[in-house]
Amino acid sequence: MIGAGHRVAITGYGVVAPCGLGKDAYWKGLLGPGISGTKSTAIENWDPLPYFESSKDARRADQVEQYALAAAAEAFAQAGTLNIDPARFGTIFATGIGGLHTLEEQVQVRLEKGERRVSPFLVPMMMANASGAAISMRYGLQGPNETICTACAAGTHAIGYAARLIAWGRCDAVATGGAECAATATSLAGFGNMTALSSTGVSMPFDAKRDGFVMGEGAAVFILERYDLAVARGATILGEVLGAGSNADAHHITAPAPGGTGAIACMKLALEDAGLTASDIALVNAHGTSTPLNDAAEAQAVTAVFGERAVPITSGKGVTGHALGAAGALEAAQVLLSFEHKLIPPTAGTTDLDPSLTIDLVHGAAREWTPGPAISNNFGFGGHNGSVIIAPAS
């Protein structure tokens, strides 16, 4: 976004994830052991009531929307009073699937009890745009309200597009991020039958023994704000979105382009957008799903862009699982937390780096670092590629 207009500050963010509710607990989870022995990881004993006026309101929101509103509450609380014209405050949100739990439950209701017993709230609860719409209504945001649904790249695409709206002068602030809660019995069967899930129930990105991902869930929400306006109101600036890239492999519905050619082009687009060179990047926050083909292609792409073992690379999916459309948002939060704590969290679950991959993977233990610009990657089924570059506040 360099040369495209306004700088874009991050002034608040919130996280809801299986490894921790709230960004502080999330950070502790990222430093903990990886997940193992399961097809999916979920938020245990979830209580939506603190985020709704009544239990009735909570019941009328699918869990994916509940997660989004919970993360938004933390983000808005940290950002403080913005005093932004509501017409210039947008909501650009992401999901891969939307309210799948509600849909699956109501299909079963229809089959067992008949169509008259299907909930009248089925449609507003299952629709993919429900989370973004709920955030917009909760906070009175009347600017652009759009939902991006590009599979596992959606969260990164949402952040990049939200930043552009500010850089271009269309918005003064945007609530952005992503949410997902899609580990239903049917979806897990589908992912399992296409051999995308780990047969061992262990997420081990870039490991020689990796055999698929573990399904995750959760949400992360960010408040992006025009940098000069944030400075003028005395806001604490947590980071800056410098640039983003988006393109398509145009190769295969699930497999990445051979050699990671699409990912290479996407990262180069993000660097160009940010006005940076590869040597400026201090960290690659990888998509790193623990699948054989995708990890290999991403590692090849990182080597092609940055050189062999030239930049630290990490993946959080050994802890979080793969949260599909929320992955990019959860991983952008990882970057901000890495800035704050001056630590790169280890790639949990990974013990033996695939010897064919020429990357500097942080695993085994967290690594101290001097925070600098970080590129966060996400690549989705359908050939969607997304990269966003986030830098510490300056």
The active-site residue, picked from 19, 149, 152, 171, is 152
CB 269 within 8 A of CB 247: yes
> Rounded to two decimals, what is the model's pTM?
0.97
Per-residue pLDDT at 226: 98
Euclidean distance between CA atoms 161 and 224, whole angstroms: 11
CB 227 within 8 A of CB 237: yes
Q: Active-site residue 149, yes or no?
A: no
**Which residue is associated with the tokens 């800035």?**
339
Domains and CATH numbers, the chain: 8-391 (3.40.47.10)
353: closest CA among 205, 198, 199? 205
CB 22 within 8 A of CB 74: yes
C-alpha dist (Å) from residue 94 to 125, 180, 258, 287, 332: 15, 9, 27, 16, 13
Per-residue pLDDT at 2: 64
CB 62 within 8 A of CB 99: yes
The active-site residue, picked from 101, 157, 287, 384, is 287
Per-residue pLDDT at 394: 86
Q: Which long-range contacts (CB under 8 A, 24 or more apart) does 80-86 make?
A: 80/11, 80/12, 80/233, 80/235, 81/233, 82/11, 82/173, 82/223, 82/225, 82/233, 83/233, 84/172, 84/173, 84/225, 84/229, 85/172, 86/140, 86/141, 86/142, 86/143
298: closest CA among 386, 197, 215? 386
**Which residue is associated with the tokens 């019995």?**
185
Residue 262 half-sphere exposure toward CB, CA atoms < 13 A: 24
315: closest CA among 34, 8, 18? 34
The active-site residue, picked from 101, 322, 363, 384, is 322
Q: Active-site residue 152, yes or no?
A: yes
Q: Going residue by residue through the chain, which has 394 residues, state the pLDDT in tens, using 9 for 90 and above.
A: 766 799 999 999 999 999 999 999 999 999 999 999 999 999 999 999 999 999 999 999 999 999 999 999 999 999 999 999 999 999 999 999 999 999 999 999 999 999 999 999 999 999 999 999 999 999 999 999 999 999 999 999 999 999 999 999 999 999 999 999 999 999 999 999 999 999 999 999 999 999 999 999 999 999 999 999 999 999 999 999 999 999 999 999 999 999 999 999 999 999 999 999 999 999 999 999 999 999 999 999 999 999 999 999 999 999 999 999 999 999 999 999 999 999 999 999 999 999 999 999 999 999 999 999 999 999 999 999 999 999 999 8
Per-residue pLDDT at 98: 96
Residue ranges of alpha helices (H) inside the chain are 23-30, 55-59, 63-79, 100-113, 122-126, 130-139, 154-167, 185-193, 227-232, 261-274, 292-306, 317-320, 327-341
